[in-house]
Amino acid sequence: MPSLRSGQQRFFGSGGPPKSGRIEYRLVRESLLREFRRGRLGRTDVCDAQPELLRVARNLGRETSTECPICEECNLVHVTFAFGPRLPASGRALAPGDLPKISRRPGELACYVVEVCTECSWNHLLSTFNVGRAAASR
C-alpha cells in the first residue's frame, strides 16, 4: 500500500483507510470524547465497562500504545469477540493469535474489536468485520 499523504493521515488517522468490509467507529468515539471534554457527559456515562469485559480485557486483551483518553493513566487494551455458528450465544473472546485459527472454521463469523481501559472502565466499540469462508467467497 502506498504511504499516506499528510492530508490523508489526518483524515484516516494512523490506521489508514478502512479495509473493505470493515466498519470503523472512530467518528462516534471522537464525538463521545468531545461531549465528555465539554462537560456534557460525565465520567460515569463513558466509563461503564461491565465486569466481564474488564476481566476479558485483563486476561485476553492485546495491549496497545494508545493512552486512555479519559484517565490518561494507562494504555488501552483491545479485545476481539467473535459471534457465529458453533460458538456460544454470548460469543467468544479471542486471545491474540486466535483470529487466524477461528476464521478457518466453516461459516461466517462476525467480529467486534473493543478498546478498554482496565483502570477507569472506558470502553468503546472500535470496529466490526466478518471472517470465515462465507465472507471470503463474496
Q: What is the CA radius of gyration of the chain?
A: 16
* Higher-scoring residue by pLDDT: 106, 59: 59
Amino acid present at 64:
T
Which pLDDT does position 78 carry in this prediction?
A: 96
pTM beyond cutoff 0.75: yes
Residue 134 pLDDT class (50, 70, 90 cuts)? low
pLDDT (tens digit per residue) in 44-59: 999 999 999 999 999 9
**CB contact set of 24 (below 8 Å; sequence gap of 6+):** 15, 18, 126, 127
Task: Reply yes or no on whether the pLDDT at 138 is more than 60.
Answer: no
Helix (H, G, I), strand (E, B) or coil at 20: coil
HSE, CB side, 13 Å, CA atoms: give it for residue 23. 10
**Which of 14-18, 37-41, 85-89 is predicted with the least confidence, judged by mean pLDDT?**
14-18
Rounded to whole angstroms, the Cα distance separating 137 from 107 reads: 11
- For the chain, domain boundaries: 44-138
